[in-house]
Structures are given as structure tokens and as C-alpha cells.
Amino acid sequence: MYQQKQFFKKTRGGKILKVHREHYLRDDIVCGSLACTTCAHGDSTVLSSEAAQYLLIDTNVALHQMDLLENAAIADVIVPEVVLSEVQARNKAIHGRLRLLVADKSRRFFVFSNEHHKDTFVKTEKGEIVNDRNDRAIRRATTWYQSHLAGKTPDVLLLTNDADNARRARDEGAAAQTVYAYVQSRTDKPELLDFVARTGDTGGEAAGPSAEGDAGPQAKRRMLYAEHKGMAELTAGLQKGLFHQGKLRVNRFNCFEAYVGSQSVGKEILIQGREDLNRAVDGDVVAVELLPPEQWKGPEGGIFREHDEEEEGVAENAEEGAGLAPEIAEDAPGAALENLDIGKEGGRVPTGRVVGIIKRNWRNYAGSLEPMKGPGGSGAMAHPLFVSVDRRVPKIRIQTRQLANLADKRIIVAIDKWDRTSRYPEGHYIKTLGDIGDRATESELLLMENDINTRPFSQAVLNCLPPLPWSVSDADVAKPWRADLRNLRVCSVDPIGCRDIDDALHCTALPNGNFEIGVHIADVTNFVHPETPLDLEAADRGTSVYLVERRIDMLPKPLTEDICSLRADVDRLAFSVIWEMTPSADIVKSHYTKSIIRSSAALSYPEAQARMDDPHMSDPLTEDLRNLNRLAKIMRQRRTERGALTLASPEVKFEIDTETHNPLDVGMYQIREANQMIEEYMLLANVSVAEKILKHFPSCSLLRRHPVPTPQMFEPLLRTAAAVGIELDVGSSKALADSLDRAQGSDPYFNKLIRILATRCMTQAVYFCSGELSPPEYHHYGLASPLYTHFTSPIRRYADVVVHRLLAAALNLTPLPERTRDKKSMHDLSDGLNYRHRNAQMAGRASVELHTLIFFKDRAVDAEARIVKVRSNGFIVFVPKYGIEGPVYLTKKPDKGAGPDPNDDFVVDEEHQTITSKDKRQTYKVLDTVTVHIEVQEPQPHRPKLILTLASDSKEQDGFA
């Protein structure tokens, strides 16, 4: 307990406070080197004794060169504590990555607690600013290491891009180098140069040659953008109300149009054009200045965009291809646009320009290089432009020595900086994913873009699994609270080929004429214990992700497919909800218990349906299914009467070649009665459990709610419906459900189409912690239920795992984990789960989109489509059979600089949602049926797009024309 005190004074808040903090200096801080003979060696002694040198990094190197540091060729790095805490204060994400590097023992990163070492602590001198003091502390740590390890093999090298700091270090007798110089000296790894970030560090010898150095010295170059205002000026401006702060969200259709949702204006502020966007990237928190009202603009109409890359010379066909049809509001591109009340103020909305960046939100971007004119000689430095697959992101200029290798590859790139003089942000290459268009590469890319963890489970996680092969033990049977239900006739019904069977059912006719119905859910929490590595990993993954050709599991395979899966003819542990129901589906009593079951059949939906439909089958199991179905229908009817919505989404199903994993056929996913039956019991179980856990834990239950859509969100639907003469009442979910039932058109698909469009107006249901909202806000709009949660899929959703623990605690089986009791961590958990859930859905959709593209690559087909939106130069169609949606152009794209095309002879009637040719011979109206030709085109090599055109047999007349 060696101790000595130093005192720091700090001021905070408006008041000046005198704060004393104790600061203990120690003599037991180790250097972490295996070569050292004086320090104690332990777990954290990672620095190799064979290393040529140890690198000691300063704060800016950690902040800006993380991609380089993450490269496996960089090892034996000393991170002084002062650097770590500076990084933590300035960039949480980088701090997290640095911590991961330190935690990975194989990378040999060591944190040296210099601030608490008696010999390396430096006191702030009078008048010295914090940065200088910290630089001095870093240099002191370097010299300490040098003398501490004197005479042993590895040298210590200070890596800093600050020239002044490097010079001082040399004066003090320490070795110091810039990152660029160091990487150049690593002749064993020339490819490291690609990873060096080009940052605007101070000092002349900084970070190597500038990418556009050939354009002359920086000072002489044209300023393309206005200067960003400093933090002090921004803060003052924000306080005075001159500027408005908000997160920038770029339009998916047009990367030069963005919105900032500002609380101080109360409306979305539109920002248009490269100059006004002023180097802000999607997700950045920016300060915006409003333009004078006479300069306000409306969002641009039309369905396609020019990319104004005049100087690039490479012709680019920026026409939008077709894609997967959106399911809910968040899926639709340009969703933000639709919600603005355009047209009421002459189409003008508050418009502004970015004056400063409050917080950057740069991440890694996946995409490919823009084809370059002229060949890039191998090995020579080239400066190609990178195009992200995320269309909201601007092109990024990178430098590389391996242009030929990267040309047709999907790669990952990070932004380093964006100077006023450079049109594009500058960045650096991180890694290659694979060939463009390759199914595996594109799948990996869509997983990465959705932040999905595909790494295999770590050994620590696998160690948490029970020994295999696992089976129900006598100890399990002996537990007094575990009911033995193996005598019941339980079965499961799932999609074809389902291996992770979460749920099973039973239905027994009781002597009193009632039915006993049980929903049995895999007892995952019997194996996943709180706070174990397995639990933490599952919590982080949040959900399993289902792509067309593969599944990324939340839990390791033995649990997912075997131990937890309620397979047929084996004993399995379950968590059961059991009701007694009258023949009219009224619940007489309900009961919750952990149990052991033995499923007698694992059916698929078609199998279950066939059994129920086949009049010759009358075995007990089939009779059970029929009883279940009969009761489910009554419950469904009741739910609909309460106002639950029957929504529809354009789900498609691929038939996949087992060898090549390529799609063989695609079609609408068929919903059977059996699906609806199972859904009904799952809903019932979820609602029952929600009520139970909320009763016991009113402040920390994990529930799921579906917010009531705002009237504006229904506007597109109402416009469309009004155009075809249908009135919809969106006043309540009940009113909407009824008016949807009444909306019948001339063909049977019409009603489904309206439902699909209605579903698109809604937002996603979300998880939340019950303590954070008031009970009326718990409401689930779509299900018209005051309470809802997720209980029935614990194998593939972490929310259900938490709910299982809540239910077990409510039954006094296990204590509630500490983390579940804490409101703050439950808040973070539900945020995280919502994020993961959303991403999993996006990834699933992207995967379907990818396979659609592959499917149509070798076959062009004609298909029936419905017009869902009329635009100034064409319309957007939805193709039910394939679930795709995309634009059909009636007019040619106008040439650059030219005025409106004289052949542009179509007139749009916004109110009636029609587009008519000038000669009045052709009229297209929203919801009309047309035949479209679907075909994959490659406007540029390796950049295939799905293009929809009007089939030559034109339009089928159906009475509206």
C-alpha cells in the first residue's frame, strides 16, 4: 500500500469548485515485458522478448491510425494509460477498439499505468496546458522504458505524428518516429502503407505525401467548401439560436439531399447540394444555419438522380435499379421525404446549410472502386475513388499500390479527413472482401453493412455448453418444480427444414368438455446462465439472422439445433404455459411451469395443413390439431373484432440449389391456416407471459410495443386510396381494420395490395423496459393488445431469454439477475435489441434482394405488376410474384445541361395519381395492372442492376383508363 498524494484542482459547471482528488503513486506497476527480470510476470505480461522493438504510441496515433494498429503485422505495442484515457474522452468507438486489442493477448498490446507509477508520473507545471503535460508524460514513459529495459534486446520507439513532440523526445534521449516513417521502414510488410491514415496532424514531416499532392501546394488550391466554425463559435451560435443542432440524415436516393431533425426549429431542415452539405456525412451531428426564407426549396421530385460527377469523365448510369419491395415505413427509401407536408407552402421547407460539425459519425464503408481511366500500373501509387454500397455516403478518395488487385473487388475503406480544398473525403483501404457479384462476397458485405457478427463462437463461449451428447438427466427429472409432461401428446409445427424448434403445443380434451392447451417453449435459460460468456455473446448478437442461404445463430449450434430444439421423440426441457379453455376459447385458468416434454411429431406447416384437411385422417394427433385450429379461429376472430390488423407483407421464398446455393425458383410465400393457428397460440402465450411478468416486476419487465402511427404516416396510403375512390378510416386500428375489410377492388389481389400498402405506413414494433413508459404507452397497435412481449423464441431471440428469466423469477424459481433489475441496463439492452432486430431484418431483405438479382441474371421474364406510385417521369411498380418493386420510366432521362425534353409528353395528375400521354392515348393510374419486363443489365462491368421496363404488349385495360 505504497502511497503518496498529489492534488489536482478542477473546475466544472458554472461555479468554480475546488476539487481535491487523491492520486496514489505505486511501486508495483509492471512494465509488461517478458524480457524484464525485475518486474513480476503475470497474465498481462505480453510484450515479447523476441520483438525487434516495442512501439509506444501517442494519443493521435491511437485516434487516427487504428486500422493500421489493428493489422496483425503490428504487435508489441505499449499504450500508456494517459493515451488510453485521452482516447476515451475523445472517441468512444476508437477506445473500444483499442481495449479489444489490449484484451487480445495474441496481439501483445500492453497498457502501462504510467499515471500511477512512482517514476513516470509527471506533475503539471505552472502555466503548462494539458496537452503539453500529457505529451511530456508520454515521453517520460518512453525514457523510463528505455532505462528500465536497458541492456535487454527490444528497444522502445515512440510513434508520434507530432513533429515537435518527436524532436523533444529525441532531445530527451528517446527514439521517436512518425507513423509513415516507421511503416516505410517495415520493408517486410510493404502492404502496411495502404493502411496509414492521412490525417491533418501538426508538423511538417507529418503523415506522408498528400493524395492530391500533384495538384500543387495546399495553400494555392481552390477552396471548395466554406470553413467549419470552431466549437466555441458553434456553442455560442447554438445558444443564441443562430444555428440548429441535429443529426444529418442523407436521402437514400440522393446523396446531395439531406435532412437535419432539429428540436429548435421543430421541423426537418432540408439541406441541398454539395456546398451547403459542406463535407458533412450521413450520421454526423452538425450545426445548421437557416437560409433566408426566399431561398427555401422543396425536395426534388422525380425518381432518379444525376450524380454530379462532372469532372470524373467516367460515364455513369445512375438510374435506379429495382429492388425488394418495402414492408414497413422504415424500409422505404426517402421515407423522410414522404412525411413532410409538401405542397402546403408551395413545396418549400426550411432550408439550411451546414456551418460546423459537432460530432463525426464516420465508420467503415464497404463498396468498390470506381473504374479508372487508364491502367493503374502495378505497384505504383494510385488515387482511385471508392464508391460505397451505402448510397448515402459520398465517394472517397484513397491511395493504393495495388490498384490492379482491387479493381473488381469489394473492399472496405475508412474516411480519414475531408479538407476544404478537396472535393471528396480522403480515406484509406482496410481490407478486401472478395469479387464483386460473387454470392459469398456480397453476402458477407450485406452482413457487414448491417453490423452482424459472423465470427465463430469463442472458446470461452463454447466452454459454457453442457457436455455432449446431452440428454435429460435424473437430476432434471427430480427437480420438484419441473413438471414431467412426457405423457402428453405434444407436437411442433414449423416451416419446412426448421432445425431450431422453439415451440411445441399440446391439446387435451378434458372430461368437463373443456380443453387443456399447452404452449411449450425451449428452456434456453436452463443452459444460458446470466453474465456467462455465452450469455454476454447472445445478448450482443441479440437475434439469429436468417439469410436466404444461411443462418447466423445467436447461440452455438449444439444448443440451437439439438439441446434446446424441441425435436420429436426425445426428452427436452421446456418452459410451459398451460391454459384450460372452454370450447368457445375462453380461458378458465392459466398456469406456468418448467417442464420436461417429449414431442411426438415435428411437423411442417404443409404437413399439418394436409393432416387437418384430409378427411380420412382421424388419428389422435390430427384431432388435436383440428381442435387447436378450431379454437385458434375463434381467438383470431375475437382479436380482429378488437381491432387487430390483418396486415400483409410481400414475402417471397426462394428455392435454393443445395450445391451452388444459387436460387432455382422464387415465389410468394404461402400463408396457410396452420401458420395462422400457430401464430395465434404464440400470441396468446406472449400476452399471458407479458401480463404475468408485469404483475411481478412493474418497473423492469421487457415488453414490446407498437406505436400508433401518426396521421401523416398514413398520408401516402390515403392519397392512393382516394385516387381510386376508396375511403379509408385511419382513426383507430379498429376503424382501419374495418375499412381495409371493405376495400374491395375489381380483382382478388386488390385487397391484399391495399394491405401491403397499409403495412408500409407503419413503423416497427420495439422492445422497451416497462419502467420507462406509462401503461397506456405499452399498447401494441398492430395486435390491438394493451400488453405484449416475446417469450416464444428464446433460441433465436435474446429478448425471449430475458423474458424467460423474468418469468422464472416471477415463479420464484431463480432470482432475477442483477442486470435485469437495473432500469438503466434494461434501457440499454432494449435499445441494443431493437438495433440488432432491425439490422437482422435489413440483412434478410438485402439477402433476398441479392438472390433476386442472381435469379434474374440469366433469365429475363415478363410479369404482372401493379402501379403503386406515380411520379413525374414514370411510375413505381410492385411485382407481387417476385416481391420486387422499382421504377418504370416513361420518359428518357434528360441530357445533362439540356432543358426539359420536348418528347417529354406525359402529364402527371397528382390528385388522381395518373400519368397521361399528351395525345391522351395512354393513361396509367395508381393500382393499375401492367405487364413489365424484368431483366438484369450491367451498365458497367460487374455492376448488375435489375431493370424494369414496360412490356411491349403495353397495358392491360381494366376499366380505369
Please give the residue ranges that form the binding site for other proteins (CB under 8 A). 1, 3, 5, 15, 17-26, 44, 81, 88, 99, 102-103, 111, 113, 115-116, 815, 818, 821
The binder of 26, among Zn ion, other proteins, none, by C-beta within 5 to 8 A per type, is other proteins
CB of 150 to Zn ion, least distance (A): 11
The binder of 1, among other proteins, Zn ion, none, by C-beta within 5 to 8 A per type, is other proteins
CB of 479 to other proteins, least distance (A): 21
The binder of 500, among other proteins, Zn ion, none, by C-beta within 5 to 8 A per type, is none
CA distances from 272 to 251, 276, 278, 315 (A): 10, 6, 10, 23
CB of 387 to other proteins, least distance (A): 39
Size of interface with Zn ion, in residues (CB under 5 A): 3
795 burial (CB, 10 Å; 0-12 / 13-18 / 19+) is buried
CB of 546 to other proteins, least distance (A): 34
Which CB sits closer to other proteins, 140 or 760?
140
CB of 117 to other proteins, least distance (A): 9
CB of 406 to Zn ion, least distance (A): 43
CB of 22 to other proteins, least distance (A): 5
H/E element, 613: helix 605-613
Rounded Cα distance, 653 and 752, in Å: 18
Residue 71 φ then ψ, to 5°: -70, 135
The binder of 36, among Zn ion, other proteins, none, by C-beta within 5 to 8 A per type, is Zn ion
Rounded Cα distance, 414 and 362, in Å: 8
The binder of 31, among other proteins, Zn ion, none, by C-beta within 5 to 8 A per type, is Zn ion
Cβ contacts of residue 326 below 8 Å, gap of 6+?
332, 333, 760, 885
Which CB sits closer to other proteins, 458 or 710?
458
The answer to whether the beta carbons of residues 573 and 502 sit under 8 Å apart is no
The binder of 604, among Zn ion, other proteins, none, by C-beta within 5 to 8 A per type, is none
In the chain the first and final C-alpha atoms are separated, in Å, by 90
CB of 770 to other proteins, least distance (A): 18
Rounded Cα distance, 307 and 274, in Å: 11
Rounded Cα distance, 30 and 914, in Å: 77
Strand partners, 289: 243, 353
Strands 53-57 and 155-159: parallel
The binder of 93, among Zn ion, other proteins, none, by C-beta within 5 to 8 A per type, is none
The binder of 22, among other proteins, Zn ion, none, by C-beta within 5 to 8 A per type, is other proteins
Which CB sits closer to Zn ion, 27 or 614?
27
Handedness of CA 891, 896, 898, 900 (dihedral sign): positive
DSSP designation for 59? H
The binder of 19, among Zn ion, other proteins, none, by C-beta within 5 to 8 A per type, is other proteins
Which CB sits closer to Zn ion, 31 or 57?
31
Which CB sits closer to other proteins, 111 or 563?
111
CB of 142 to Zn ion, least distance (A): 14
CB of 39 to Zn ion, least distance (A): 3
Which CB sits closer to other proteins, 80 or 425?
80
Strand partners, 176: 158
Strand partners, 413: 365, 429
What the block records as the C-alpha cell of 367 is 463498396
Window 7 to 46, contacts with Zn ion (CB under 5 A): 31, 36, 39
Which CB sits closer to other proteins, 25 or 509?
25
Which CB sits closer to Zn ion, 31 or 687?
31
The answer to whether the beta carbons of residues 49 and 33 sit under 8 Å apart is yes
| CB-CB neighbours of 109 under 10 Å | 25
The answer to whether the beta carbons of residues 920 and 908 sit under 8 Å apart is no
Which CB sits closer to Zn ion, 27 or 828?
27
Which CB sits closer to other proteins, 1 or 475?
1
Residue 906 φ then ψ, to 5°: -120, 140
The binder of 642, among other proteins, Zn ion, none, by C-beta within 5 to 8 A per type, is none
Which string of DSSP letters, residue by residue, matches 672-741? Answer: -HHHHHHHHHHHHHHHHHHHHHHHH-TTT-EEEEBPPPPGGGGHHHHHHHHHTT-----SSHHHHHHHHH
The binder of 39, among Zn ion, other proteins, none, by C-beta within 5 to 8 A per type, is Zn ion
CB of 93 to other proteins, least distance (A): 16
Which CB sits closer to other proteins, 593 or 825?
825
Using CB under 5 A as the criterion, which residues of the chain lie in contact with Zn ion when the complex forms? 31, 36, 39
